[in-house]
């Protein structure tokens, strides 16, 4: 179980609290939506869950670490995959960053990453394809949870549906919990079994 208990966070001691007493829990294999107005702290909660930020108060608890040494059990996947990748690396090397060995990279799910992309650079595949590489890299770390922060926002409807279909298939097969951050209520209704609302302070 991934549990966040009474999380408080602000980026600066003089700034207002961005996260104010957020609590949530996500079971293995569960898909939970996280929505709220712009600026309500959704992405910040995502970073706290993935261990990229440390809460000022409260705590995040998750089961044992991922099998991969060094990989956090909660992987964060962001909207702009190109910002999370070295543009000078081939897709094969980007996937190997997960800790997967050559054989695992070569046998990655072909629906997610087509074999012919492996020797290309990020700019040599489309944005939707690059997001699938991003998802594959996160999945190769063998995470227990994935925080998907607006992962399909800049994609057309067909590509969006395809990316989510692939992610949810893997999540089901490997019992990975997913936290779907989105402004899109229709998307959340389609992918999540329940949705948590974050609200901005007055």
Ligand X SMILES: Nc1ncnc2c1ncn2[C@@H]1O[C@H](COP(=O)(O)OP(=O)(O)OP(=O)(O)O)[C@@H](O)[C@H]1O
| Footprint of ligand X on 125-184 (CB under 6 A) | none
Q: Are 147 and 141 in contact (CB under 8 A)?
A: no
Nearer to ligand X, 1 or 52 (CB): 52
x/- track of binding to ligand X for residues 3-42 (CB under 6 A): --------x------x-----------------x-xxxxx
What is the secondary structure of 111-157 as a DSSP string? Answer: TTS-GGGTTS-GGGS-HHHHHHHHHHHHHHT--SEEEEESTTTTS-H
Q: Are 182 and 153 in contact (CB under 8 A)?
A: yes
Binding residue for ligand X, selected from 2, 26, 30, 44, defined by CB under 6 A: 44
State in angstroms the smallest separation of the CB of 182 from ligand X: 9
State in angstroms the smallest separation of the CB of 84 from ligand X: 16
- Judged on CB neighbours under 10 Å (0-12, 13-18, 19+), 153 is middle
State in angstroms the smallest separation of the CB of 181 from ligand X: 7
Binding residue for ligand X, selected from 22, 43, 131, 163, defined by CB under 6 A: 43
Length of the chain: 202
List of residues contacting ligand X (CB under 6 A): 11, 18, 36, 38-44
């Amino acid at each position: 179980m991934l549990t966040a208990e009474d999380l408080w966070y602000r980026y600066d001691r003089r700034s207002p609290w961005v996260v104010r007493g957020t609590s949530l829990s996500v079971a293995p294999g569960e898909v939970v939506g996280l929505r709220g107005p712009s600026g309500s702290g959704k992405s910040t909660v995502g970073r706290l869950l993935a261990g990229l930020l440390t809460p000022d108060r409260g705590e995040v608890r998750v089961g044992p670490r991922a099998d991969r040494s060094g990989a956090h059990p909660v992987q964060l996947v962001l909207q702009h995959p190109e910002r999370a990748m070295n543009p000078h690396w081939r897709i094969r090397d980007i996937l190997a960053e997960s800790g997967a060995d050559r054989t695992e990279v070569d046998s990655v799910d072909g629906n997610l990453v087509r074999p012919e992309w492996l020797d290309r650079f990020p700019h040599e595949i489309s944005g939707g394809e690059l997001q699938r590489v991003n998802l594959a890299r996160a999945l190769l770390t063998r995470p227990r949870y994935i925080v998907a922060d607006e992962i399909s926002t800049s994609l057309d409807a067909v590509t969006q549906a395809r990316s989510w279909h692939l992610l949810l298939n893997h999540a089901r097969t490997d019992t990975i919990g997913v936290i779907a951050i989105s402004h899109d209520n229709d998307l959340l209704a389609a992918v999540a079994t329940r949705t948590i609302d974050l609200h901005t302070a007055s």
